[in-house]
């Protein structure tokens, strides 16, 4: 007996749009997130370069994929109008127009300035599936994205202040 085409389509969609069981990232299409993809436009710098260029906290967050304590970063309650750039390479990442107060203690945005500004990877380092957000230009760790944000995207890009540099408009 041949399977119904609609059943095959449903099975394929279920696989392609596979979701994590983690409540914080439920409904994110993790199957579409590449694991450790390296893009051709990524800057190549040595660890020594980053250690000399970044502050210790920036190095911890951007290069060692650390997370700053909630409510400790300079941008979690920041209200000024402008652009948030990568603290490592200066790439424009998020506009203040997309920033919102998530109540989490980290700066949160509902969309990047462009899809080309960031990349996303599956992160299982904490024992759960999460979607890590990285600077597309230098590969620096920015934070994570969750499916509990406001309209119009429903996404919450939860970032570390140490990974960002703000330029006032």
The single residue of 86, 89, 138, 158 carrying the catalytic annotation is 158
Does residue 65 come out as left (phi exceeding 0), alpha (psi in the -120 to 50 range) or beta?
left
Tokens of 19: 């979701």
Examine the residue annotation and report whether 135 is marked as an active-site residue of this protein: no
The string of DSSP letters for the chain reads -PPPHHHHHHHHHHHHT---S-GGGTT--GGGS-SS---TT-----HHHHHHHS-HHHHHHHTT---PPTT-STTTT----EEEEETTT--EEEEGGGEE--SSSS-EESS-S-TTTEEEEEE-TTSS-EEEEEETTT--EEEEEES---TTT--EEEE-GGGEEEEE-
Which residues does the annotation mark as catalytic?
Answer: 158
């Amino acid at each position: 007996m041949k399977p119904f085409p609609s059943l095959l389509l449903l099975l394929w969609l279920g696989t392609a749009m596979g979701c994590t069981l983690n409540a914080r990232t439920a409904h994110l299409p993790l199957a579409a997130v590449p694991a450790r993809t390296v893009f051709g436009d990524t800057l190549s710098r040595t660890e020594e370069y980053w250690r000399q260029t970044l502050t210790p906290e920036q190095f911890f967050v951007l290069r060692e994929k650390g997370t700053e304590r909630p409510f400790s970063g300079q941008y979690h309650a920041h209200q000024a109008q402008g652009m948030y750039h990568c603290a490592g390479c200066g790439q424009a990442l998020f506009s203040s127009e997309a920033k919102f107060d998530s109540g989490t203690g980290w700066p949160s945005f509902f969309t990047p300035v462009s899809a080309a500004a960031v990349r996303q990877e599956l992160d299982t380092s904490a024992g759960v599936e999460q979607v890590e957000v990285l600077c597309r230009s230098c590969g620096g760790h920015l934070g994570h994205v969750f499916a509990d944000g406001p309209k119009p995207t429903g996404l919450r890009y939860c970032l570390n202040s140490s990974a960002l540099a703000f330029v006032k408009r």
